[in-house]
Amino acid sequence: MTKLTPETIAQHGIKPDEYQVILDRLGRAPNLLELGIFSVMWSEHCSYKSSRIHLSKFPTSGPAVIQGPGENAGVIDIGDGQAAIFKMESHNHPSFIEPYQGAATGVGGIMRDVFTMGARPVALANAIRFGEPENANTKRLLAGVVSGIGGYGNCVGVPTVCGETNFDKSYNGNILVNAMCVGLAETDKIFYSRGAKIGSPIVYFGSKTGRDGIHGATMASADFDEGSEEKRPTVQVGDPFMEKLLIEATLELMQTDCIEAIQDMGAAGLTSSSVEMAGKEGLGIVLKMNDVPVRETHMTSYEMMLSESQERMLAILKPGEEHIAQAIMEKWDLDYAVIGYTTDTGRLVLEFDGEIVCDIPIGPLSEDAPKYDRPWVKTPPQPNVTSAELGDIDVGQALLKLLSCPDIASKRWVWEQYDRHVMADTLAASDKPFDAALVRVHGTNKALAITTDCTPRYVLNDPYEGGKQIVAESYRNIICTGAKPIAITDNLNFGNPEKPETMGQIVGAIEGMAEACRVLEYPVVSGNVSLYNETMGQAILPTPVVGGVGLIGDYHNAIGYGGIVDGDLVFLIGETTDNLGATLALRELYGRGDGAPPHVDLALEKRTAELVSALISQKHIKACHDLSNGGFALGLAKICVASNIGIDAQLPENVPTTAALFAETQARYLVVISPDNFDGFNAAVAQSGLLLHEIGAAGGANLVIADVITISVSAMRTAYENWLPEFMG
């Protein structure tokens, strides 16, 4: 056996103290193949070694939760024997290196997580972030990522219904591509990676294994440096048409009662899928590497085990049922092979060319992998930034500037490249003025509400409050449609956890998110952690993204924030405070990023959401929009643009003008009612005891706010729609 050098060990992302653990667990030095297996399974991407102890703080159960974290995706009960299955994952590093394939395979991978559990994918969402527009790479990366997302999702035939696209200089060298998938299944036909028994055959099906994606998981768990472009071979190559065949074949196999356990081959490929299924039941496995379908000659067992070639599945079948699975795979023209069997040894044994090339215990690879309580320091608090500290500005021009800034401007150029209505169940997507997408549960009047949310600048300045706000905004966005929020998935994107300041951001954000989830009864059922998002030591903004899912019993009762007409009345529910810390306005209008973000009163969030939900269900209101980025003025502007009508509005009372217009105080909603509904609406709000401001009425062609802003709807639309197409040329 060739002796491993310190350089080889370091290249595999294994630190000296971790290598000593390997020596202790094995009682000998590993060979190169065994080192590679430890490398991918102990990567941050697969093991969550820096975050596991903190992720346990999330509430993960609830009345509707069937399966929380620990499986391929989360599962919630949506009634009538039906379940929604969903998850979000990152493909950040691959998308920076090769934007089209990185984003495309991110979409393919998250769909496999969902249909592996027996669900048919019905909706895709995303959260993508790029460097500042002035950066030389931003346009190329944006074009490639959007093309990759659309190219894969459109070809498979699953609609991409919502997402967010943001820009910041911190992402110049490390973009974020987070993909979410939602599927539907029957509650009595859900499949898991656990459940394998001793002596059962292990079968491989899907695409052949190639050399693409080798060490992808390890690469995704490391900082970028000047040589990152050379990591292109670690980016997988996707085939959406093969994915479509794989979906249909897998779902057909699931109708046969052949499966004991099933797992897609994602990060770490054949290694993680086999180890995870065996590890969950304390079993061992034997794999015959010569039987693995390969598409390249002279592939080594190292390459086969670490490849992240796409569109592949691994299943453990009931003994004697192999021929049934084989017939289905032949029907769908997919590769199929029996490549091993389960044992009672608790060990991973690999045979290749008549020799045993790997024999290691599974425990240290899975449940007994390293787990760190890394040192961390709390982010220092910042003071509020009040209106009195800020100079006077032309607030009308300021509003136009906010409408046209990269984070707010219309992303039509992006979402027009996505098929949003394939499958014919999309009720509201990015092209509709809704705070969350709506997708009908086929054949019913039910619909799922889906949203992705994050405000990184809040998390940077106060991770705990920022974490609370992300969950609260997701909750509000679903409430605004008339749906009931049920559960979330998350994707926690941060820098290097070995830096105490970064680890403090991670801890603070998780604790804030967890507290919000508890109070709002909005549990976490799945998720992903993406760390080491740094380039040359410069970290991204802390970006913990939330993907929220809710349910509306009758989609005919859903509302958006468009469709208002002349004479409709506009109200603001909630109190506005004089704090502009960490707001969009502070950044865009004053060039500052400091200050405490808005405080999130979770009890108030829940009370206000319950009121708005009741107002919608009782048909007191016809349009609803929560206030977040840009505050009151931007919220009014978006309603005007969505309905092509002006509003004659007054400012909220008892707060300075700048704060009234642009503060991002939480737990606030703009609602629109027909005059005929005023009495019922007013009585319901009065009974709640919450603060209500009568803002004004719809009409005309201008947004008029007191005596400080008069802007035409057409001018606002031009500002809102033009930036991105002009930028992309």
How far out from the chain centre does Cα 494 lie? 14
CA distances, 723 to each of 402, 423, 726 (Å): 11, 31, 5
Look at residue 491 and give its three-state secondary structure: strand
Phi and psi at 334, nearest 5°, equal -110, 150
Dihedral over alpha carbons 319, 320, 324, 329 (to 10 degrees):
60
Structure tokens at 479: 């409430």
* Active site residues per annotation: 45, 91
**What single string gives the DSSP state of each residue in 604-621?**
HHHHHHHHHHHHHHTT--
Neighbours of 554 (CB within 10 A): 12
The bridge status of strand 538-539 relative to strand 623-626 is unpaired
Under 8 Å between Cβ of 266 and 308: yes
Which residue in 38, 43, 154, 169 sits closest to 107, CA to CA? Answer: 154
Looking up tokens 């991918």 gives: 40
388 token code pair: 């009195």
Q: Distance (Å, rounded) from C-alpha 574 to C-alpha 577? A: 10
Q: Rounded to whole angstroms, how far apart are CA atoms 353 and 71?
A: 34
How far from 306 is each of 210, 265, 300, 322, 346, CA to CA, in Å? 10, 10, 10, 25, 20
Coil, helix or strand at residue 657: helix
| CA distances (Å), origin 30, targets 39, 192, 357 | 11, 31, 10
Name the 3-class secondary structure at 33: helix
List of residues 6+ apart from 723 with CB closer than 8 A = 404, 405, 406, 409, 410
Q: Residue-wise over 689-709: b if at least 16 C-beta within 10 A, else e?
A: ebbbbebbbbbeebbbbeebb
Alpha carbon of 458 to those of 66, 640, 668: distances in Å? Answer: 32, 27, 17
Paired residues of 491 in beta bridges: 528, 545
The label of the residue with tokens 């069997």 reads 341
Q: What is the CA radius of gyration of the chain?
A: 26
Structure tokens at 536: 């040359």
Q: In the chain, how many H helices and how many E strands?
A: 24, 28
What is the rounded distance in angstroms from the CA atom of residue 278 to the CA atom of residue 280? 6
C-alpha neighbours within 13 Å on the C-beta side of residue 138: 22
* Phi then psi dihedrals of residue 519, to 5 deg: -65, -40
